[in-house]
Each structure stands twice: as structure tokens, then as C-alpha cells.
Structure 1
């Protein structure tokens, strides 16, 4: 196998379509794009995370996503999930259900320095 063969294999693996996460089928993301304190602008400028990465971590499998309610703010959900490129993100969303549809407003998303230990402290 030469370098070109390896690159073709890696490219095929990374570009493979992910399947939708069935537990998130009735979920819609509402992006706040103009406020630098939270939402898409904050997530991109402060933490270097794109909207696409947040949506990938929440809506696609593989990889994997886990969720739990924020202990201090019951209308917020904390997510721990990975992008297709194995970038693990801690995502905080405002969360509510209306007419059978679950809505999420991403407040922040980042890669915690402590990794999974950061996630586990919220149990």
C-alpha cells in the first residue's frame, strides 16, 4: 500500500455519511447568531466550534451523544458528544418542548481541557 492508497481509504472513511440519531428526530435547533455573549457567534469566536460541529455532535451517529439536565437550571440540557472527527464537545442548550417538538437553543459549546472528567462532574 502506498501513500495514495492510504489517503483514499482515510478520505472514504471520513467522508462517509453518518446516520441520523433516532433519539433526536423530533428536535429542532434554533440558532441565536447575533449575540456575542451566547449562541453561534459566541461558540465560534470564543471556543472555535462551528454550528456544523454542534449539529453533528447532537444529530448524527456515529459518533455518540449523552444528555442530562443542568443541576442548577432545569430548562437547560447538557450534552457530551463527538463530531465525526472525534472532537469531543460539551454543549449547553436552552431546552423546551412545544406541540410535540423539542427545541434547543445552543448557549455554548467547547472542548473542555479536562475532557470527560468535566462531563462527569455534572452527575
Structure 2
């Protein structure tokens, strides 16, 4: 069982190293299967968000010398879920958990993509300062 876990974690790490490259690869594979650009893009965003979570958490931990990055991302996603769910309940009188989940997950993709770029640049700057 630990061998399977090791293999899966190595595959995840490989995809999480460059999530934008992963996005492109997954997009072409899914488009080849589905032949619908809109659905392909949405599904690829959903899949890439999983890799962005790991990548952004790792870069956060490296930059700030902590191990709280993953849990901080989960906390923000849960707060967003509660806020959007509460807003939907006030607006419509009921909550559609699937819609709220999709909105939070896609906003997560957007936010994590921006954070990835920011943290990538900050980590480069941090390493450049230590080298010189």
C-alpha cells in the first residue's frame, strides 16, 4: 500500500510543479475526448485547482518558513463557501451546495493562480537576495 501511495504522491508532485503546464496538457487530453471547448476548460480548471493548492501551499511554506500553507488555503476556501452559501440562502431562501461548491472552486482557481504567480516571483526574489 505504501508503494501505491509513493507513486501517487510522485505523480501529484510532478503535476503540481508547473500547474500552468499541467493545465495545457490536461486541456488537450480532455478536449480530445470531449470535443467541447467550454466544458473542457471548466473541467481542466477544476482539475488544475487541486494541483494549485499543493503548489501554492508549498511555495507559501518555503517563503514564510511555516507548515501552515495548506491549512490556510483550506480555511479561506471554507470561509468563502460559508459566505457565498449564506448569501445564496438570504437571496433565494435555500442553498444549492453544488453551485456554491463550483463557484468557490472556480474562484479558488483564479485566486490560487494569482497567488502562484506572486509567490513564484517572491521566491525568486528571496533566492536572488540570498545568492548575492
Q: TM-score band (shorter)? A: under 0.3
Q: TM (normalized to structure 1)?
A: 0.24
Which structure shows the bigger proportion of residues in helix conformation? 2
Which structure shows the bigger proportion of residues in strand conformation? 1
Give the greater-gyration-radius structure (CA). 2
Q: TM (normalized to structure 2)?
A: 0.23
